[in-house]
Amino acid sequence: MLPTAADMPLFELHHTVTPTDVNPLGVKGIGEAGTIGSAQTIVNAVVDALAPLGVKHVDMPLRPKNVWQAIQNAKE
């Protein structure tokens, strides 16, 4: 015997609203919160590393050809 969706008890749903003060929107991540910031952290690190070359922006994904192209574009 395995419990299924039909075996769920009745429950009431409430929300708690506690805005964070560490960002302008007051929003927090839920679920896979750890993955939310990682991509932009890495992209920002790459843009920071390339800043001396004049690069201000790189679109994801950071494929080698995209990073190379961003450097070429900054040279022009």
Q: Does 28 bind other proteins (CB under 8 A)?
A: no
Nearer to other proteins, 20 or 73 (CB): 73
Q: Is residue 72 near other proteins by the rule CB under 8 A?
A: yes
Residues ≥6 apart with Cβ < 8 Å to 36: 29
Distance CA 33, CA 15 (A): 18
Rank residues 36 and 49 by Cβ distance to other proteins and give the closer one: 49
Both tokens of residue 54?
Answer: 């004049």
Tell me 37's DSSP state: T
* Binds other proteins (CB under 8 A): choice among 14, 15, 65, 75: 65
